[in-house]
Amino acid sequence: MDLDDIAARLGVPVEEVDRVHRLAGDQPSAPLPARADAPALLDRLAVRPDDAAEIMAGWPDHDSTLWTPELRWLLDRSIALVRADLGGHEWLSPGPALPRDRGPAWRHLYVYAYLALVDVVRKYHRDHGVTDGVSWVTLADLGRNLAIDRRMNREGWSVMQSWLTLHARGGVYELGRLQHHRGETAISLHIPESGPMDPEAIDASLEQAREFFPRHFPDERYTAFACGSWLLDPQLQEYLPENSNIVRFQRRFELEPYEEPEGLDADVEVLRFVFRSLSTPLDQLPRRTALQRAVIDHLKAGRHWQWRSGRFPI
């Protein structure tokens, strides 16, 4: 198919289709699991029943009328694009954001790509001696992100579709309370929505990582843990008690000098993670927790949150 025609039929810029074409090249794709095996796999990946039902309804069977030639091309090439960077740890977009209101094939195209890569990345894990337990709990971030996207009225997926390519390439591992993201000289820390940030749970996760990476990636040398997040904004200390889990997490890090991040709005990211909504007016947001009250009061005062980066030695 002609790339201009594909872009027009998908309703996306031709530059984004050309990017997929260039990055995927003639690299091999990977098959989806059999439809009969899909429900058990979705359950293993912690996909909720309502999301699983949608995914099954849009399954890319060879005779499905939901799957137009341009959608099948994008699915195949998106899988190839991500697979070509197996072992990579940079953020990677699997393809253009699609108009997700056009049905389950459009809404979940990159979920199908993820499912096709499960066996690929699990072999990568096995080749590096990663246990099944770590492998599955890491890959089950799919279900968590789908549930969050549903809570956000489908506003969250544009970020999540790129985030999940890290899991599908072996770039991120969930070890206890934290997700640990391979890098150059530092392991980046991510905090999934899975409960309180108790210092003891954080300590245990860091200790796991100190053993995990030398064992499974002995050729990589890490000297620090790093994090980039609104959670490291010192302004939070104006609102939260000194013994709060967030403040205690902040104090682990030596912050880098503040620089306005390009292409990232910290106010938007705070609303995304604290309230899981990007469109609710401030006056209608809940004020149940100290953090929620802090976010709202800070923004209503005309102030802005900062995305801060920091690190501490391993």
Q: Quick: pLDDT tens for 254-301.
A: 999 998 888 889 999 999 999 999 989 999 999 999 999 999 999 999
Alpha helices in the chain (DSSP H): 3-10, 14-24, 38-44, 49-57, 69-84, 104-107, 109-127, 132-139, 141-151, 157-168, 199-216, 245-250, 266-275, 290-300
Beta strands 308-313; 224-229: pairing state = antiparallel
Provide, rounded to the nearest whole percent, the portion of the chain with pLDDT above 90: 92
The pLDDT confidence band at residue 198, using thresholds 50, 70 and 90, is very high
- Name the pLDDT band for 313 (thresholds 50, 70, 90): very high
pLDDT in tens, 73-83: 999 999 999 99
Q: Does the pLDDT value for residue 158 go beyond 90? A: no
For residues 98 and 104, what is the distance between their CA atoms, to the nearest angstrom? 11
**Residues 195-206, mean pLDDT to the nearest whole number:** 95
pTM for the model: 0.94
* Amino acid symbol at 17: V
